[in-house]
Structure 1
Amino acid sequence: MTASHDIERARFAQLNEIANQEIAAGHIAGAVVLVGHKGKIVYREAFGQKSTRPHPEAMTTDTLFDLASVTKVVATSTAIMQLVERGQLKLDDAAARYWPAFGQNGKEAITLRQLMTHTSGLRAEVNGKGRWSDYQGAMQAILADKPLSTAGTTFRYSDVNFIVLGEIVRRVSGLPLEDYCAKNIFTPLGLKDTTFKPEPRLRPRVAPSDLRWGEVQDPTAYRMGGVAGNAGLFSTADDLAVFAQMLLNGGLQNGRRILSADSVTALSNPHGISGQSTLRGLGWDIRSPYSKDHTSSFPLGSFGHTGYTGTSLWIEPKSQTFLIILTSRLHPDGKGNARPLRAKAAAMVASALPMGPAADSITQTGADAAPIMPGSGQADNVDSVRTGMETLKTAGFAPLQGKNVGVITNHTGIGADGRSTIDLLRQAPGLKLRAIFSPEHGLGGKLDEKIASGQDPVTGLPIYSLYGNDKKPTTTMLAGLDALVYDIQDIGARFYTYITTMAYAMEAAAAAGLDFYVLDRPNPINATIVQGPVMDESLKSFTGYFPLPVRYGMTVGELAQLFNHEYRIGAKLQVMPMQGYRRDSWLDETGLAWIDPSPNIRSLTEAILYPGVALVEAANLSVGRGTDTPFEIVGAPWISGYRLADYLNQRQIPGVSFTPTTFQPQSDRYRRQRCEGVRLQLTDRDTFDAPRLGLELTIALQHLYPDSFELDRTRSMFGSRAVLESIKQGKSPEEIQRGWQSRLDEFLKIRAKYLIY
């Protein structure tokens, strides 16, 4: 990578001022700051002094720094993912499979994924009660130690996690960590100065960590001989820029494949932590107490890591930007502070290269932070998203010119000016709207019954119901048409029938030789979170067209591409994409108005709860249909609300709490009968795991009411025979969730091929 002048240097002039102010304030002696953007280095500067003792030396851009914990992601996480790609490791295997002695003293169930996401339950540092020295001494101390908490129940940032991972790299590859990384990561990338234990020739360019020169500052890594999975790596800003660009390139750099695109996606895919608002990738930080300097300015979807010595690397994939800040804040007296420089530089870069709303402006973290809920108005600065309909309008409806068109839509299909998709197509020049097709709930979205076909009283056009005797357009319905246009607001859950209607219509269009256009719209519950069991293909139905997880994290246009290619439908598909859409946005952050997509989803809160609560709906329960708050309450005449609420609250399910309630549905199941149950309060939508909620509800009801709860009827919604069998066997929610993770990982690989945004 070479420096670029495509972006005026003046845009980053404030970084000079910020760095010099921090040096003048005594927070740091010097720094190197580098910004990469769209494949080029757009800013690189050195400031202040590399060292002040025993004599002053000026900082230079090629200075090597002790990266401290940035080692975890540059070296160890990358090595682990390479070994996963080669089939030598599986993330959801117990670490003891690869290091059998590790399984003693209560550590037998800890998985590689839990080590990488700091949810293993291990202590933060190697237990210092026993006197140990050298590498093997550290290993023995780890083997003798016990977890502080049950794996998978809490986030605790831990150097031990990555020391264990480094040892597993050694055991599986047959190479010490430093040799493995040099051979498989640093040399293939062409990194010139990235190494553990810098050679004497490099030491004149090394910034002292404290008063040590060229030796790792981290006490544990130092005692282990200078190399550990948690710390010990030295590097320069230029080398880190190459590494960051490799990630932005989907694992490819200068023609060399370091990681697969799927691995890069997996590294930065957020993992919610039980009972906390922390989000971690595989090694990488996404949102935690350690990330606030960056997430106060950089948006959700960005990720990075910081180091104790004053180093940091933060990456923003959407804008193709990364920020590298290297300081040696502990030199000379151990009292420096790199955080103000990080926060100010991140804010400046985010303003110079607009990236969207800052993560912390959308969802705050910390014990004293109020959760930001749907409709809070705290994301009002977000520009409105332009839907696929607006893209089509901007193109003057050119793709449809000369065509006879049928439209599959309902009340959610509206343009930015409030006009319906039907009206917009009917009045568009150069095309003829010939037929209207409606999904479940009808054209107005109000009906909860089978619907007959009819005629639109306004346009006189036929309205063909796809939720009556026919669920797929027939040859008669398609007669005389050249193209079908689909414009319906999706909900983001596997068992919502609108996406099956789209797929069936694509099949019919392919058979008839028609063009098929999808006017894309946002996933209202955001398109980054992917959760829940993947459906067994043998359970395919109108409420489960494809083996999707419960929350698939895709837009309807992306789903159309997936269906078309994975099932070889052969539709002549064209997706009209949105403009200004960020896939990590909830609907209330898009600037688009909420429209009830169906009679019983009346708010964004209910849409978020729906993929969890609906998992138990097929059983003998009321989920609030026939009340004012469907999917915010769950109950039945045979339930004690206080007993169920107490059980569920003790489970500390992330992002949701429960209060006892009574209600009387006016329609649907238990009509006009008194029900007791729980009211759900969504407290943090970013950490909320809807399928986990559904699993916890199911297990609670099976445990408390085994003679009343009809467990077998939940199979169609979970979509997994294995999950149902695990519940019957009495397995814990954590164990069942771990069980579905491998299929979820496989889905993520498929999904990655079809993402547009």
Structure 2
Amino acid sequence: MRIEKIKSGIDRFKNILPKRFYGLRAGLLIHPASVNKKLVHTKNILLESKKVRITALFGPQHGIFGNTQDNMIEWEGFVDKNTKIPVYSLYGKTRKPTAEMLKDIEIFIIDLQDVGARYYTFIWTMALCMEACEEAEKPLVVLDRVNPIGGHLTEGPVLKPDFSSFVGLHHLPVRHGMTIGEIALYFKDNFYPKLDLTVIPLKGWKRNQWFDQTGLPWVMPSPNMPTLDTATVYPGMCLFEGTIISEGRGTTRPFEIFGASFIEPEKLVKRLKDFKLKGVIFRPLYFTPTFNKFSGELCGGAQIHVIDREKFKPFKTAVAILLAIHELYPEVNLWRQPPYEYEFEKLPFDILSGSDRLRKNIEKGTPLKDIEDWWNEEVLAFEKVRNRYLLYE
């Protein structure tokens, strides 16, 4: 396979940053995957750079070091012991930068690796930073990065405003097929029109390229996103966070493995074969999570083996699994109760899927094709908007 030479925004920062930003005091939002092509961290690059002066650091969910293992674990800010620069948490009691956090900076820089799914919280941290910078009249720069699961495939329901939350603040389908820079352009135009936004684009990336075709190094953007295989299934299997079914947290293959203590693996896999899903094979298995749901309990379930990632539809696959489980175990209430990601009233599954329509379809046993038809209509409508913000062919 031919590996392309692709440069991320951080690799182009030195040569592309507009001169009007030179010498400004900067805030920097980063996480562990904020690295250049040589695995040098963005924090170190910009601290040594003469282009800007870093005076504050910000971190999203899991922190700037990725050290909070499970989901929904808050972390507190601190002072970086080496640089004495304040590090502000944007995943805790504060998720939008305050005026106090921004008072000593003149420009806000974001370098986050997204994974291409609406419910991955980094894009919503970016959105709240955009809102804060618009209000404070401070310019914001996004260093663009590739969408690891490609920029040519979209899938899943589009978020409805009544179901807005920290796993979806604005109108997006589940698999959006956009880079974080393209999303920033979309957000600015539609929600933060007065923001002074600059996107430093990628060089050499094509929309149909997956991460392993870029020549860039994979660094876990969060603790339960260890590989590209994880990211491939995530746009569907993250839905399981809104259920009582284990999404594989506490195993070495999160989101690829799923199950529960009451599931009979062979029985479930036999039913899943009836859906004739493309690009995927289910392997029955038993597993015992070390943390999260069913910690220490033997669970039955399956592992998702993607054999053709271009044909594989992660969201459709996840819905098929839930339809099968609901049919085989109708006495089980599948839905996790709130709170979840700072939402205390609506069901976690509903805010993940973007409305209550999908949950009600599953409860009724609506045929998979009929369910897919309505979300396909939503995606097609969104793509007409999305196309205005695409930077790459």
Q: Secondary structure of 1:389's partner? A: helix
Match of 1:510 among 115, 128, 134: 134
Alignment match, 1:151? none
Structure 2 residue 39 is the aligned partner of structure 1 residue 415: no
Q: Quote the residue 2:343 is aligned against.
A: none
Tell me which residue corresponds to 1:748.
Answer: 383
Could you tell me which amino acid in structure 1 is paired with residue 22 of structure 2? Q
Match of 2:302 among 671, 678, 693: 678
Match of 2:371 among 729, 736, 751: 736
> Is the CA contact (8 Å cut-off) linking 2:8 and 2:203 kept in structure 1?
yes
C-alpha distance 473-713 of structure 1, shift in aligned 2 (>3 A): closer
Letter matched to residue 716 of structure 1? I
> Is structure 2 residue 77 aligned with structure 1 residue 442?
no
**Taking structure 1 as the reference length, what is the TM-score of the superposition?**
0.49
1:497 aligns with 2:121: yes
Q: Displacement of 1:597 after TM fit? A: 1.1
Where 2:376 maps in the other structure, the secondary structure is helix
Larger radius of gyration: 1
- Is contact 2:130-2:192 (8 Å) kept? no
Q: Work out which of the residue numbers 522, 525, 538 in structure 1 matches 2:146.
A: 522
Tell me how far 1:569 sits from its aligned partner: 4.5
> Structure 2 CA distance, aligned partners of 1:731 and 1:423?
52
Residue 634 of structure 1 deviates from its aligned partner by 0.6
Deviation at 1:698, TM superposition (A): 1.4
**Equivalent position of 2:197 in the other structure:** 573
Which residue identity does 1:686 align to in structure 2? Answer: E
Paired residues of 1:616 and 1:717 also in contact (CA < 8 A): no
Match of 2:340 in 1: none
Partner residue, 2:342: none
Mapping 1:76-225, distance limit 5 Å: none
Deviates more, 1:527-536 or 1:716-725: 716-725
- For the residues of structure 1 that align with 2:100 and 2:86, how far apart are their CA atoms? 12
Shift of 1:695: 1.1
- Contact 1:532/1:549, CA 8 A, preserved across alignment: yes
Cα deviation per residue 1:452-498 (whole Å; 9 max; x = unaligned)? 00011121110000001100100110012110000010010000000
Q: Secondary structure at the match of 1:533?
A: strand
**Which amino acid counterpart does residue 519 of structure 1 have in structure 2?**
L
Distance in 1, Cα, partners of 2:250 & 2:38: 33
The 5 A counterparts of 1:269-308 are: none
Q: CA deviation at 1:416?
A: 2.5
Q: Aligned partner of 2:32: which letter? A: H
Letter in 1 for 2:252: D
Instruction: Name the CA shift for 1:568/1:443 in 2 (closer, same or farther; >3 Å).
Output: closer
Q: What secondary structure sits across from 1:435 in the alignment?
A: strand
- Residue identity opposite 1:601 in structure 2: M
* Cα distance, 1:628 vs structure 2: 1.0
Give the alignment of 1:318-467 within 5 angstroms.
Answer: 379=1, 381-395=2-16, 398=19, 400-447=21-68, 448=70, 449-467=73-91
Residue 407 of structure 1 aligns to a residue whose secondary structure is strand
For 1:410 and 1:398, locate their aligned partners in 2 and report how far apart those are by CA, in whole Å. 26
Matched residues in 2 for 1:639 and 1:395: separation? 54
CA deviation after TM superposition for structure 1 residue 430, in Å: 4.1
Q: Secondary structure at the match of 1:510?
A: helix
Correspondence 1:22-41 to 2 at 5 A: none
Please state if 1:688 is matched with 2:312.
yes
Using CA pairs under 8 Å that are at least 6 residues apart, name the structure with larger relative contact order, 1 or 2. 2
Residue 264 of structure 2 corresponds to which residue in structure 1? 640
Deviations 1:318-350 (A, max 9, x none): xxxxxxxxxxxxxxxxxxxxxxxxxxxxxxxxx
C-alpha distance after superposition, 1:411-454 (max 9, x if no partner): 11112232211111111114211000000001111313100000
Shift of residue 728, structure 1, vs aligned partner:
2.6
- Looking at structure 2, the residues matched to 692 and 705 of structure 1 have their Cα atoms a distance apart, in angstroms, of 20
- Return the offset for 1:384: 2.0
Q: Quick one: distance in 1 between partners of 2:36 and 2:18?
A: 13
Aligned equivalents of 1:531, 1:655: Cα separation in 2: 15
Q: Could you say which residue in structure 1 is the equivalent of 2:359?
A: 724
2:276 matches 1:652? yes
Aligned match for 2:252, one of 615, 628, 634: 628
Give the counterpart of 2:350 among 715, 721, 734.
715
- Checking the alignment, whether the CA contact within 8 Å between 2:131 and 2:192 is kept in structure 1 is no
Give unpaired runs (5+ residues) of structure 2.
Answer: 336-346
Tell me, what secondary structure is at the counterpart of 1:571? Answer: coil
- Please tell me the residue identity of whatever aligns with 2:164: K
Following superposition, the deviation at residue 396 of structure 1 comes to 6.7
Q: CA deviation at 1:616?
A: 2.2
Letter in 2 for 1:675: C
Q: TM-score, structure 2 length as denominator?
A: 0.93
Q: CA RMSD in A?
A: 1.4
Amino acid at match of 2:327: H
- Quick check: 1:663–1:674 contact (8 Å CA) kept in 2? yes
Match of 1:601 in 2: 225
Which amino acid in structure 2 is aligned with residue 434 of structure 1? T
- The structure-2 alpha-carbon separation of the partners of 1:399 and 1:662, relative to structure 1 and needing over 3 Å to count, comes to farther
Residues 1:550 and 2:174 are matched in the alignment? yes
Whole-angstrom CA distance in 2 between matches of 1:397 and 1:575:
10
- 1:292-326, CA deviations, whole angstroms, 9 ceiling, x for partnerless residues? xxxxxxxxxxxxxxxxxxxxxxxxxxxxxxxxxxx
Tell me how far apart the structure 2 counterparts of residues 582 and 605 of structure 1 sit (CA, whole Å): 20
User: Is 1:473 matched with 2:97?
Assistant: yes
Task: Tell me if structure 2 keeps the 8 A contact 1:525–1:586.
Answer: yes
Q: Distance in 2 between matches of 1:568 and 1:428?
A: 29
Counting only pairs closer than 5 Å after superposition, residues 8-87 of structure 1 correspond to structure 2 as: none
| Partner SS, residue 445 of structure 1 | coil
Aligned partner of 1:531: which letter?
E
For 1:414 and 1:718, locate their aligned partners in 2 and report how far apart those are by CA, in whole Å.
Answer: 31
Give CA-to-partner distance per residue, 1:383-429, whole Å, 9 cap, x none. 22101112212237735302110000011111223221111111111
Specify the alignment match of 1:610 in structure 2. Answer: 234
Residue of structure 2 in register with 1:339 after alignment: none
Q: Distance in 2 between matches of 1:716 and 1:539?
A: 5
- Whether contact under 8 Å (1:507, 1:569) holds in the other structure is no
Name the counterpart of 2:341: none
- The 1:554/1:609 distance shift into structure 2, 3 A limit, reads same
Aligned residue for 1:349?
A: none
- The Cα shift of 1:716 comes to 2.2
